Structure 1
């Protein structure tokens, strides 16, 4: 099956890395189901997917809810009859100190990023097995160095890496490829909002904050959503088919350890 006849599901597709990934895959896949909670933003993504050459399907659901995964899979199969790639990108976890984060905030982060990805992968697995498809779960560099100011992000990202490894082990027998991705600092709307808040706390301009952070991280620049989208597209391409169970960093060299 050539790339041009394949179907992908992209979660978190209403903005940032998810939107960039959906648009990148639209250049090579025939159809892309875009999944998120914000329908208005998804409509913008869908128009870009159409412009890139693929047929979009909007599925506006809250993946933190137990029934959402089944809805996404059923809608995609009803529209296109197959699933060849699943890219689990949804899940923003608040950056709150470990001693200040409430149980509700922990539960919300786990429900969307971890359990949402887990449920959707399980629900899509039979279709992915039938197509010898691919799964990518997005984690983050904080999985490698969880710190007190963003304990939940690091903890949940580490769990995502472990979950992907477990799925990849099952995928060897079932013919489903599974990998995880650890992006470094990427300039999204959410990161810019964080920098605006940080700049205000430290009495500096947003521009100075944007310049300062890459230097402190030892990188030349922030990544872009399009940078990560290119990696996502490679991981679900025929050229990466023997690559499974891998945890792939794309961070501009932020992580200095081997």
Structure 2
């Protein structure tokens, strides 16, 4: 069975859109007919995404912003609604990870992880919800398999992703009687800039890291993007308060 994802006439805001999963989500939604507000701190990467979206004829607003700043989160939503006059989907894809021995992690990196991975999705949602209620729209948060298992050297990352899943569920309950859908996806490891560029802490135990690599290998970015697009669209009408794991079995046992 093929599920038809139709976003014609709708507007989506996608964070982390300069590369990886965020770019893939933006492309999926554009192919389904959506106009896009793409947000990232990486202006150069946003320009590349804009070019890819232009190739398929999408309407695009490029908005470079550092989402560790709550004001920038609110400004991103304001920019999208000012340009397009509505907002139908918020896809909170942006995220980062710093691996460190917990007793050595810099306070600055702890706070930045919290700001980008957890506070930013809340602040973006807070600003977007009035518009999404009017449009009967959706929020999709990108969590991680690390929401459900402890991963060595990733205490901050695991904390934010677990928090994001429970925030999704709490907000879904709060708006249970309102015309909005709030869901999350929890991918396993994907080949993205985050995975390629993170640094291992000096003296780490490689065998501990291998425990979370997955026996079936990495997850395809496009597979996760397909699910995000589904949940963001009217085709995902049956989902609310869910977190869909797409991790090739990492959290199965």
TM-score, normalising length from structure 2?
Answer: 0.90
1:218 is aligned to 215
Question: In the TM superposition, what is the alpha-carbon distance from 1:214 to its structure 2 partner?
Answer: 10
**Conserved 8 A contact 2:212-2:250:** no
Shift of 1:66: 1.9
Give the CA RMSD over aligned residues.
2.1
CA offsets 1:35-57 (integer angstroms, 9 cap, x no match): 01111110111111122332010
Q: Give the 3-state SS of the residue equivalent to 1:191 in structure 2.
A: helix
Match for residue 128 of structure 2?
Answer: 124
Deviations 1:134-166 (A, max 9, x none): 001111011111234111111111000011111
Q: Give the number of aligned pairs.
A: 243
- What does 1:1-258 align with in structure 2 at a 5 Å threshold? 3-194=7-198, 217-219=214-216, 221-257=217-253
Q: Specify the SS of the correspondent of 2:130.
A: helix
Conservation of the 8 A alpha-carbon contact between 2:24 and 2:225: yes
Partners of 1:137 and 1:180 within 8 A in 2: yes
2:97–2:194: 8 Å Cα contact kept in structure 1? no
Whole-Å Cα distance in 1 between the matches of residues 225 and 20 of structure 2?
A: 10
Unpaired stretches in structure 1, ≥5 consecutive residues:
203-211
Q: In 2 relative to 1, CA 216–65 (structure 1 residues): closer, same or farther, beyond 3 Å?
A: closer
More helix by share: 1
The structural deviation recorded for 1:172 is 1.6
- The ranges of structure 1 where at least 4 consecutive aligned residues each deviate by more than 4 angstroms after the TM superposition are 212-216
Q: What's the offset of the Cα at 1:242? A: 2.0
